Structure formats: C-alpha cells, structure tokens
Amino acid sequence: MDNNLLATSFSGVEFKNPIVLASGTCGFGENLNESFDIEKLGGISSKGLTINPSPGNSGIRIWETPSGILNSVGLENPGIKGFIDQHLEFVNSKNLVNIVNLSGHSIDDYIRGADLLNDYKIDFIELNISCPNVKNGGMNFGVKAEIAGDLVKKVRRVCKHKLIIKLSPNAENIVDLGKVCEDEGADGLSLVNTFLGMAIDIKNKKLYLITPMQVYLDLQ
C-alpha cells in the first residue's frame, strides 16, 4: 500500500510530492545536490535553455530593494547540446520529475529546440514565453494572446513531450492568454515568471537595475 500522502498527478505524470524548484533556482541540480538531497523534491525545472550557449547579461544581475530582490541574469546557459551532453544524464539518474525549460529568440528557435529534445527522456518541456531579461524573444511572446497561441500551436506540432507554458505576469490579459495556450495544445501552465521592476538611486539619480513564486496549473 502506498502511504505517500503528498503524491500528486499532474497532466498524467506522477510526482512523489508537489514541491518543484522553479527554473533558474537550482541550475540543473548538481550543485544543489552537494548540500541537499534533491530526490526529496517532486521535480526540478531546468535553467532556461536556448539553441546556442549564452553568457547571459553582463554587469549587475542581482539587486536587493526594500520590497524584494530584482534579477537580470539573462538566460545564461550551456545551450541545448551542452545540456544534453553535460547535465541530462545526472537529472535522469535522480528519482524526480524532469522539466526542461526552453526559451528562444524566434518561433523557429522554439520549434528547433523542441525538436532537438524529442528523442531524450524528459517529462515536460516548459516553454518560456515570459523572460523579461533578454532583448529578443522571451516575454515578447507572452504579452499578447494571439502571439502566444501561434507559438504554442507551432511548437505543439513537433513536440513529442508534454508541454507546459510559462506565462508572464505582464501579459495584457493572462486569463485569456492561458486559455488560448490550452486551446492550442498546452498540457499545463506555469504561473508566473519575474515581474518587471527597476532599482533607482534617487539621491544620485542613477539607475541600478531594470528587470522583470511560480505555480503549475494542470489543464487536463
């Protein structure tokens, strides 16, 4: 008899508990696992991946304000091939749900990325249409419902994995946008990416940093 009262099912995938680390909070799990047994988690969402490796944003990336912490990392990552070669085996060796966060600068990037990941053991692809810290792509696809829907429809045609859409709190109408994503084939929604914000030194009239809790919603 299974006595795990925390076990939960999301879009047909079984999680031993509902605790999932959001993308960007634990890299790909290796470093965190040195100080914490990540198999105690229900799953992890990987650092955001792009087709090619990216160094991320230069300059200040983290800034503490009286009302919270702003971040501007900018999708630093090893690229999809780097993830497959260097990190995927480790993630799949652990007893947890593997969610791969995928971002892009164009619709073609998302399509190619999903296709490259098709033949690998992954539980979900989390389509990141909400990153505000890159100049092209990211949140550009997560503001207007019709743009998000078009992207999801085209990725769904090629993606063999279950598909989660990571929404932006800066969407024009997040309810309508989420519904369109569901209609175009999303298996779940991830709520939400970083809010837009800025840190200003009012005494010296200097801008420190501009930047933009996550919940998963099952659509089945």
> Quick one: pLDDT at residue 136?
52
Number of residues that make up the chain: 220
- For residue 199, the model assigns a pLDDT of 79
Closest CA to 218 of 151, 162, 152: 162
Domains annotated on the chain, with CATH = 8-59+73-195 (3.20.20.70)
User: Could you say which of 26, 131, 159, 181 is catalytic?
Assistant: 131
Residues of the chain with pLDDT under 50: 1, 133, 212-216
pLDDT recorded at residue 63: 83
Tell me the torsion sign for CA atoms 151, 167, 214, 78: positive
In the prediction, which pLDDT does 66 show? Answer: 81
Q: What is the pLDDT of residue 198?
A: 78
In this prediction, residue 219 carries a pLDDT of 61
155-195: pLDDT as tens digits: 999 999 999 999 998 899 999 999 999 999 999 999 988 77
131 belongs to the catalytic site: yes
Exposure b/e, 162-176, CB count within 10 A at least 16 = b: bbbbbbbbbbeebee
Q: Check residue 179 and give its pLDDT.
A: 98
Which whole-number Å values give the CA distances from 168 to 41, 111, 151, 190, 191, in the listed order?
Answer: 25, 20, 15, 9, 7
